[in-house]
Amino acid sequence: MVWELPVRIFHWANVLSLLVLVLTGFIIADPPALLSNAEPYNLHTFGIVRFIHFTAAYVFFFVMILRLYWAFVGNQFSSWRAFWPFSKKMWTNFRHVVKVDVLLQNEEKRNLKNLSIGHNSVATLSYIAMFLLALLQIATGFGLYADMSGWWLPKLFSWVPAFFGGDFMVRSIHHFSMWAFILFALVHVYLVFYHDWLEGRGEVSSMFGGFKFVRNERIKKSE
């Protein structure tokens, strides 16, 4: 077992909430032009879109907290230690992955140890970046939301607009980081397929079932 159930739940809840957030986000940023004779007395379309956006934001926020919790109680692949970027091992692996998987050079001699069981280090680093970006998204999002909310949680972020010099700036940052999520998703999905195609270890299905194909001798060592 590489990805435990909470990790998988986190992953798919995250995917779903991000998808919803991006779609509704685009609608909110640039609402579709509808010419109609409608009067607003029994229409609440845009309000509903925004409601979905805010709901998905809460889902996004709370699965993030779940994942953080799991980084302390989960297995070695989901532990915060796997994400710690200041170890020598991490950076040797980083160089290897860049050489073999990004620049597509072939190795003279294959070394199994170079093949990560969990995330490889380029992936871990990108997840750290995405995590920081998610924090930014949460801070700017809740910062914009804080004034409409009566709850203390979003209100914790009411300092954000003042910090960035007004709502307008915060909106722009929120909008830009959304694009970073989209670009990340593109690369992420491609690389998952790439690894599955090349290494045949069940990279894609591992996020559904949790298992990857790993040689016997490595399993003993890792447990």
Partner 1 sequence: MSESNEKRKTYYESIIKQGYSRRDFMKFTTYMAAFMGLKSTMVGQIAKSLETTPRLPVIWEHYQECTCCSESFIRSDHPIVADIILDKISLDYTLTLMAASGHQAEAAKNETMRKYKGEYILCVEGSIPLGDDGNYCCIAGKTAKQAFLEAAAGAKAIIAWGSCASSGCVQSAKPNPTEATPIHKILKNKPIIRVPGCPPIGEVMAGVIVHVVAFGRLPELDRQGRPKAFYSKRVHDSCYRRPYFDAGLFAETFDDKNSKEGYCLYNLGCKGPSTYNSCGTLKWNNGVSYPIQSGHGCIGCSEDKFWDNGPFYERIPKVPGFSIEASADDVGKVAAGVLAGGIAVHAVAANISKRKELAGRIKRGKSNEQNIDS
Q: How far is the CB of 175 from partner 1 (least distance, A)?
A: 5
34: nearest Cα among 54, 49, 20: 49
Q: How far is the CB of 126 from partner 1 (least distance, A)?
A: 14
Q: Is 112 in the site for partner 1 (CB under 8 A)?
A: no
Nearer to partner 1, 15 or 186 (CB): 186
Chain mean position to CA 162? 27
- Helices 88-97 and 121-145 cross at an angle (nearest 10°) of 100
Query: For partner 1, what does the binding mask look like between residues 123 and 162, x meaning CB under 8 A?
Result: ------------------------xx---------xx--x
Nearer to partner 1, 37 or 86 (CB): 37
Residue 174 · residue 116 · CB < 8 Å: no
Q: Using CB under 8 A, which of the segments 57-65, 69-77, 101-109, 133-141 binds partner 1? A: 101-109
Distance in angstroms (rounded) separating the CA atoms of residues 104 and 117? 20
Q: Which member of 19, 156, 183, 204 binds partner 1 (CB under 8 A)? A: 183
Q: How far is the CB of 62 from partner 1 (least distance, A)?
A: 26
Residue 181 · residue 14 · CB < 8 Å: no
Q: Which two tokens stand for residue 169?
A: 């700036």
Q: Is 186 in the site for partner 1 (CB under 8 A)?
A: yes
117: helix, strand or coil: coil
